[in-house]
Structure 1
Amino acid sequence: MGEPAAAFYARRGNAVSDWWTLLHPPYTAWHLSYVALGAAVAPALDWTDLAFTLLAFFLAVGLAAHALDEQQGRPLRTGIASTTLSAVAALSLLGAVVLGLAGAFFRDGANWALLAAIPVGAVLVVGYNLELFGGRLHNDHVFAWGWGGFPVVVGFLAQAPTPAPGAVAAAAAMTLAAVGTSYAQRRLSTPARRLRRDTVSITGDLTTTDGTAVPLDRAVLLSPLEGALRAMSWAVPMTALAVLLASSSRG
């Protein structure tokens, strides 16, 4: 089998292609959507707070996390220099922390819950992507909670909500929903990555009940995995947009 692209969204050929691939556009949009969903279930929606929270997560997840991950064995096979990746990771994570501190202290008083989330986010980005602590943070469960549940919680907290029981319950339910879809993403993307990046050959047939033999190859095995990932990568952002619009219309 010929060498496939590192991911279904990956591009090759020039620096623009490398940066596009590094940003993981479908997945970055997917996980930024969790921030929006958290904000949308707050009692009142402040679009400025949401914009800065989205920017902070883009810096932390879209840039810093992906730059650190690419330094670990070059899984995306980009030509971006290691020094550039290190600089992007450091500056992006610093920018995310600064934005978090600004949100915690300089908008309508101190937001202590948001402040507490800042070091948690920094540890998740660095620990997960560099596989620190013996890789204990690099697993399906940490991914589901760190890349799914955590953005919902921070999106909610950044709105500085009043502790109304209904809003807290809604945020808790949305957090669990994000954990579930992120866990599903991980369970789909892990075998897809293995097929694209670590598989040399595939042999065998699938025989149906009517006796038809379907030869198995990379494309056959990838199709249901990446078909589901593609669908979810636009369905979750569209869900976030719908919930935001509904929240805004209620005023």
Structure 2
Amino acid sequence: MDGYKGNNTTFQVRDPAEKLFQHLDYQPGIRNQYQGPRIPDELHWGLFEINWIYTNESGVSPPTNDVGEVVITGNDVEITEEIAEDLKLFLQQSHGDDVRELAEILNIDISDKTEKSDINDLTKSEQIERYDASKATHICELPDSRCQEIAKQVAQQVDLDSLSDGIPEWETTYTHGGKITQDAEQYQLIIKTERKTGSEEQYFNKIIFTPEDGIKTVWTMTNVMIDWNQRIQLEQQRGEIIKSVISVAVDEDLDIGGSMCDLELTTEYEPSIDQF
């Protein structure tokens, strides 16, 4: 909800914007209970310009001057240095023309995004082809705190909107990263996908790694008895999650095992999976 020209206007949020708000630790308000944080005006209209947020109400547009430049005036919330650093980190970990456009709108320099090596200008496929796991750190050697960060990055890169013609039907979050138990050598990243409207369909995807094999299992728990159409959808989601795991591994110089590993996919039904 946003005050637009003195009126309350409801803006819908697409999946990339939700991930950005999670990264900024913005907690939405609850109607008639408490108000959520005020988003900086420049960021709000920047997200509107790249269609990460939208409204079905007519006649809504950012305030502009005579030459069409967005001009923020009045009692606006500014982007602080801390917010700018958080935005820069998020944009550097994201991909796409809309990401670059938002960086330009907000005047944030993300040119050092991949300065770790000379593969910066290559496509993601070319980076993966040149990726040398033998020079990388094995994911099972990371502390739990770093695994949590990796799980967060994976969730941010998962793009389920691409599976539904750009319609934001699913919310993707991370719930855990690190050792499965203190005694075990297995590590895990847990990525949750949840349908936003309609059915209360949820999937908890536990990606399990071992020191010997790297990525070993994607174990999915669901709270519904899925049919074959839902199973196809689940496999597409798992494909996107695995793709994001590989992408983050390349970006962060992590060894997650070889591409010819025996990757096991398992699916189980559990009516109540909140504690998974």
So what's the TM-score if we normalise by structure 1?
0.30
Structure with higher RCO (Cα < 8 A, 6+ apart): 1
More helix by share: 1
More strand by share: 2
